């Protein structure tokens, strides 16, 4: 995710995290049709194809990722309002410091934000 965010900067990057269990093992980088440094929108046809691929592989969506190019890794008001999947984790990568990006995860339900720990398992 961090490499994807850096590569797509100065625009926000976005993608889907998936897995067959409760651990995200697959990252699907998506096209940001907004092509903006302050917002993202996943390309609908591409998103549909990723959902088909996940279904065929027995995976499910566990998270939605996007980057913040010039702000901290915390959901904006727009991010919170557009969080349509309360069952998934929302992961935000901040590129405020390109040399040291940060990532944080959140659950967002009914516009209430709760931070969750990120655990990297190898």
User: pLDDT value at position 121?
Assistant: 74
User: pLDDT value at position 78?
Assistant: 94
CA-CA distance, 33 to 66, in Å (whole number)?
Answer: 13
pTM (2 decimals)? 0.94
Q: Which residues contact 65 (CB under 8 A, 6 or more apart)?
A: 1, 13, 14, 15, 16, 17, 27, 90, 91, 92, 93
Q: Which residues contact 35 (CB under 8 A, 6 or more apart)?
A: 11
Using CA atoms in the order 102, 114, 81, 61, what is the torsion angle rounded to 10 degrees?
70
The string of pLDDT tens digits covering residues 49-98 is 999 999 999 999 999 999 999 999 999 999 999 999 999 999 999 999 99
Domains and CATH numbers, the chain: 2-116 (3.40.140.10)
User: pLDDT value at position 38?
Assistant: 95
């Amino acid at each position: 995710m961090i490499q994807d965010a850096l590569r797509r900067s100065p625009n926000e990057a976005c993608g889907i995290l998936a897995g067959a269990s409760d651990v995200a093992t697959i990252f699907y980088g998506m096209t940001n049709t907004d092509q903006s440094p302050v917002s993202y929108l996943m390309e609908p046809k591409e998103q549909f194809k990723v959902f088909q691929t996940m279904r065929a592989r027995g995976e499910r969506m566990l998270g939605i990722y996007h980057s913040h190019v010039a702000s901290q890794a915390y959901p904006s008001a727009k991010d919170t309002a557009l969080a349509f999947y309360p069952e998934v984790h929302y992961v935000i990568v901040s590129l405020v410091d390109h040399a040291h990006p940060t990532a944080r995860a959140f659950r967002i339900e009914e516009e209430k934000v709760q931070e969750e720990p990120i655990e990297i398992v190898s």
